[in-house]
Amino acid sequence: MAEAASGALRRTLNLGRPDEVYNAIVDAHRDLNDEQCRAFDAGLILLLANHVGDAGVIGEALAAARSSLEGGSR
């Protein structure tokens, strides 16, 4: 698959029902311990990264997520 052009990461809301998605993610973590939560998150990230299938977009998402932890915006 071809590399995405810089700026290919969609940063505007793209979910029809974002609250339902958020609640589903929270519910999926219910009753998991910290180690299970980390394993679940890692598995989910890998599944979604595979679905995206574009290393450039995934790289942008990683940088944006890291930046948000350091006080930047997503």
CA distance 64 to 11: 10
The reported pLDDT for the residue numbered 1 is 44
Query: Region 8-24: what's the mean pLDDT?
Result: 95
Predicted TM-score (pTM) above 0.75: yes
To the nearest whole number, what is the mean pLDDT of the chain? 90
CA distance 39 to 65: 18
Q: Which two tokens stand for residue 9?
A: 């990461």
